[in-house]
Amino acid sequence: MTAKIQGAQAPASAPAGALPATAAPAATAARVQWLRDELERHNYQYYVLDAPTIPDAEYDALFGELQALETEHPDLLTDESPTQRVGGAPLSAFDTVRHRVPMLSLNNGFDDEDVIGFDRRCAQGLGRTAAAAPAEDLFSAAEVADSAVEYACELKFDGLAMSLRYEDGKLVQAATRGDGETGEDVTVNVRTIKAIPLKLRGKAPAVLEVRGEVFMYRAEFDKLNERQAEAGEKTFVNPRNAAAGSLRQLDPRITARRPLSFFAYGIGELQGAERPPTHSVMLDGFATLGLPVCGERQVVKGAQGLLSFYREIGARRDQLPYDIDGVVYKVNAVPEQEQLGFVSRAPRFALAHKFPAQEMTTVVEDIEVQVGRTGAITPVARLAPVFVGGVTVTNATLHNEDEIRRKDVHVGDTVIVRRAGDVIPEVVAVVLERRPEGARAFVMPTACPVCGSHIERLEGEAIARCTGGLICAAQRKQALLHFAQRRAMDIEGLGDKVVEQLVDQGIVHTPADLYKLGVAKLAALDRMADKSATNLLAAIEASRETTMNRFIFALGIRHVGEATAKDLAKHFGKLDNLMAADEAALLEVNDVGPVVAQSIAGFLAEPHNVEVIEQLRAAGVHWPETEPMARAPLPLAGKTFVLTGTLPTMSREDAKERLEAAGAKVAGSVSKKTDYVVAGAEAGSKLERAQALGVPVLDEDGMLALLAEVAQMEQQGGAEPENAQ
C-alpha cells in the first residue's frame, strides 16, 4: 500500500460526469463516507494491526473512486479524507508551536548499576524497598519481592519525537520537539504519513496530544537511498537522518514520497477523558484509537525484569526492522509516575537504557591499501581508535576506489563509522563541515606496496589488482591462509602469525612447502613452543588425507567457492579430468558460467599452478577419486554421416558442425557402415554409392528435420529418434 496514494484512477464504476457539481445527493455522501471508513480501516489493518486484508490494487480502486467523487462534489471534501495526504503547496517556513505540556527528555543509563540504581530510587520514592539482590544474582531463581515496582518496558526508537494533537478525534496539529517548550509546526508534512491517522477510531477525547516517534523502517530507507542514487540525488546517512530530512521539507509533496512511519508512546495534553491507569493500558488504548504502537513491549517487575528485557532486545537488536538506540523503562502505574514526578527536564519514573552506539565519528588518519589472496587491492581507512558497536575500531574497509570517490573520503576527514552486530565496521559518510585544510585525497598506488608489481584495474571492474601473483608475499600469505582454513585443508594452528613468519622468512613459498616442514623449523618461530609446533605438524600431516572438493576449494581459484568446488569434483571425478578440461568442458559443469570457466581454465594454464598441484600430490595429499559424472550420450553418437554436393542454404562446414555437435561422426566416403548421406545439388559418386548400398539419403531439409527431432528427444529425456537406425 506504499506510494500508491497518488495517481490512482477512478474505476469505471465511479459515476464520472453523471452528476452536476452541486450539493451531493445523500446517497453519494453516504458512499463517500463509506469509502473513507473503508480506506481508514485498511490503513488501520496495515499500520496498526500489521495485518493487511486487501491487495494493493483493491485499495487503489477504492481510493480512485473516492478521489473521483470528491472531484465531482467538492462540497464533500474534508481535511480528514485519506485523499488529502498527498501534500499541499510548499511552505516558506515552519510556524513555531508552544507545547502546552512540555516535551521532556529521558535520563540515560548505560550499565546494570545504573538500572539497579534507577529501580532503587523508584522503590524508595514509592515507599517500598527495592529487591536487594546483588548484580551477579540478578538471574538466579531469586524471587521477585511483592514490593518490587512494576515497569512498562519498550524500545527507544531512533527517530524524531513528535507531538500529534487530536481535537474531537481529528488531527489538527503536529509539532516537533524543538527545545521541549517550543517546536515547529510540521502538520502539513505529518498528514502525509499514512501510519498516522487523520481521524481517530471510535470515541476520542476532546483533546488528545499523542507523543511518539517518527522513524523509517530500514528496508524502506535502503529503497529510498537506491531511488535517490538512481535519480542522482543525495543519499542519506541513516534512517534517522532520512526521517529528519523528510520532515523538515518545506514542500510536503516531497515528504509524501518518503516512507515515514510512527509509533506512539505517550500522552501530552488530555481533555475530556481520564488518564489511563497504567502506561500499558494507555498503549493498548492507542492501538484501539488507530494509532500504531510497537509490539516489542513488556510489563516486568524489579531490576531483574528490566535487565532481562534489555538483554533479550539487545540480542535481537540487529534483526529488528528499524534502528533503536536502547530500551526505555517507565513505572507502569500512572499514579506512581505522578508520585515520583520530575527532576529538572526529565521524569524520575523513566530511564532510557542505552545500547552501545552503532555509529560514532572519528578521524581518518591514513588510507592504506591491503593486498588480498587474488591480488585484490582494498583501500583501508586507518582510524583514530573509536568505541563503536561494543568494540574499539581502528580500521574500516573502504572497499574500492569508486567507493572512496563516492563517499569523498580524504585523509584527515572526520567520518561517521558504523558497526552493527557482527558486520565489519564501515565508513558511512564524511562530516564535510569538519574537513581540515590540507585534507588529502586518496590516490590509488600504481605499484603493489608489498611486491612492487604493477597494479592494474581492468575495464569494467571495480577492483584494482596486484599483478604479482604468487611472487607477491601478500598474495602468498592470503593463499596459504585460504589453503589452511577449516573449510579447505583444515590445518588447525596455521594462523596469521605463523603464516606471516613462514613467508617473510622465506621458509614457505607455496602450499606444497608446508608438507616439507619439520618440528625444528616451526619451533624456531616466534611464539611457537615445541608443543604447538608438534600439533601443527600433526595437523599438516592429517590434512594429506582430504576430499577432492576441499582440495579444489583450497587452491584458491578466483570465483571457485565451496559450492563450485563440489560441483567440479562431482562432475570430473578425478583431478586429472579437471586439469585436462578446456573452457567448453568446464561450461558443462552444473552452475559454471563463462566467467568461472575462464577463471579455472586461466588458473590451470599457469605452469606454476600446475606445478604446485603436482608437488602437493607428490607430497602425499590425496583423496578418493570417482568416475566422472555419467553424461547422457549425445543423440547422434555412433552415427556416421557423409556430406556430398552443394546444400541449398548451408555450407558443408556448417552442416558438419551441426552434425558433430549432436554427436555424429562426419566421414569422407560412403561405406556399408555409413548411416546417412546428406546430398545437395550436383552430388556425384557418393550419392550413387549410397543408393547402391541402400544407405538412406537426406536432403538439407531432411537433415535439419532429423536434427530438430533428436534435439527434442534429448530435451524430453533421450530416447533415440525413430528413423535413426
Cβ proximity of 33 and 82 under 8 Å: no
**Is there binding between residue 105 and ligand IVH (CB under 6 A)?**
yes
Smallest distance from ligand IVH to CB 100, Å: 15
Using the rule CB under 6 A, give the single segment among 52-60, 100-108, 362-370, 670-678 that binds ligand IVH: 100-108
Of 350 and 415, nearer to ligand IVH (C-beta) is: 350
Measured at the alpha carbon of residue 675, what is the angle toward residues 672 and 678, in degrees to the nearest 5?
110
Distance CA 193, CA 171 (A): 12
Smallest distance from ligand IVH to CB 12, Å: 46
Distance CA 688, CA 411 (A): 84
Please pick, from the candidates 115, 116, 161, 196, the single residue that binds ligand IVH as defined by CB under 6 A.
Answer: 161
Cβ proximity of 700 and 648 under 8 Å: yes
Sort 352 into a burial class: Cβ within 10 Å, 0-12 / 13-18 / 19+: middle
Does the CA dihedral 532-508-518-544 come out positive or negative? positive
**Is there binding between residue 104 and ligand IVH (CB under 6 A)?**
yes
Smallest distance from ligand IVH to CB 108, Å: 7
Does the CA dihedral 231-233-239-243 come out positive or negative? negative
Using the rule CB under 6 A, give the single segment among 76-84, 152-160, 375-383, 402-410 that binds ligand IVH: 152-160
**Is there binding between residue 313 and ligand IVH (CB under 6 A)?**
no
Of 199 and 354, nearer to ligand IVH (C-beta) is: 354
Distance CA 324, CA 157 (A): 5
**Is there binding between residue 209 and ligand IVH (CB under 6 A)?**
no
**Interface map 219-258 toward ligand IVH (x if CB under 6 A):** ----------------------------------------
Closest CA to 21 of 70, 63, 62, 64: 70
Of 161 and 381, nearer to ligand IVH (C-beta) is: 161
**Is there binding between residue 336 and ligand IVH (CB under 6 A)?**
no
**Interface map 257-296 toward ligand IVH (x if CB under 6 A):** --------xx------------------------------
Of 152 and 367, nearer to ligand IVH (C-beta) is: 152
Cβ proximity of 154 and 368 under 8 Å: no
Smallest distance from ligand IVH to CB 326, Å: 8
Please pick, from the candidates 60, 72, 154, 184, the single residue that binds ligand IVH as defined by CB under 6 A.
Answer: 154
Sort 15 into a burial class: Cβ within 10 Å, 0-12 / 13-18 / 19+: middle
Smallest distance from ligand IVH to CB 342, Å: 8
Q: In angstroms, what CA-CA distances link 182 with 93, 264, 347, 540?
A: 15, 20, 19, 71
Using the rule CB under 6 A, give the single segment among 89-97, 221-229, 344-352, 412-420 that binds ligand IVH: 344-352
What is the footprint of ligand IVH within residues 440-459 (CB under 6 A)? none
Using the rule CB under 6 A, give the single segment among 89-97, 98-106, 441-449, 648-656 that binds ligand IVH: 98-106
Cβ proximity of 400 and 462 under 8 Å: yes
Cβ proximity of 583 and 605 under 8 Å: no
Element housing 575 (H / E): helix 575-580
Please pick, from the candidates 213, 336, 413, 567, the single residue that binds ligand IVH as defined by CB under 6 A.
Answer: 213
**Is there binding between residue 352 and ligand IVH (CB under 6 A)?**
yes
Smallest distance from ligand IVH to CB 101, Å: 10
Of 177 and 407, nearer to ligand IVH (C-beta) is: 177
Smallest distance from ligand IVH to CB 188, Å: 21
Please pick, from the candidates 350, 377, 388, 596, the single residue that binds ligand IVH as defined by CB under 6 A.
Answer: 350
Smallest distance from ligand IVH to CB 160, Å: 7
Which three-class secondary structure state does DSSP give residue 35? helix
State the cell numbers at 503: 613467508
Smallest distance from ligand IVH to CB 208, Å: 16
Cβ proximity of 239 and 217 under 8 Å: yes
Question: Other CB atoms closer than 10 Å to residue 413's CB: what's the count?
Answer: 24
Q: How many residues bind ligand IVH (CB under 6 A)?
A: 15
Which three-class secondary structure state does DSSP give residue 425? coil
Element housing 480 (H / E): helix 473-484
Q: Which residue is nearest to ligand IVH (CB)?
A: 161
Distance CA 612, CA 594 (A): 25
State the cell numbers at 50: 500489521
Cβ proximity of 178 and 104 under 8 Å: no
Question: Other CB atoms closer than 10 Å to residue 485's CB: what's the count?
Answer: 16
Known catalytic membership, residue 156: yes
Of 349 and 572, nearer to ligand IVH (C-beta) is: 349
Active site residues: 156
Tell me which residues touch ligand IVH (CB under 6 A).
Answer: 104-106, 154, 156-157, 161, 177, 213, 265-266, 328, 347, 350, 352
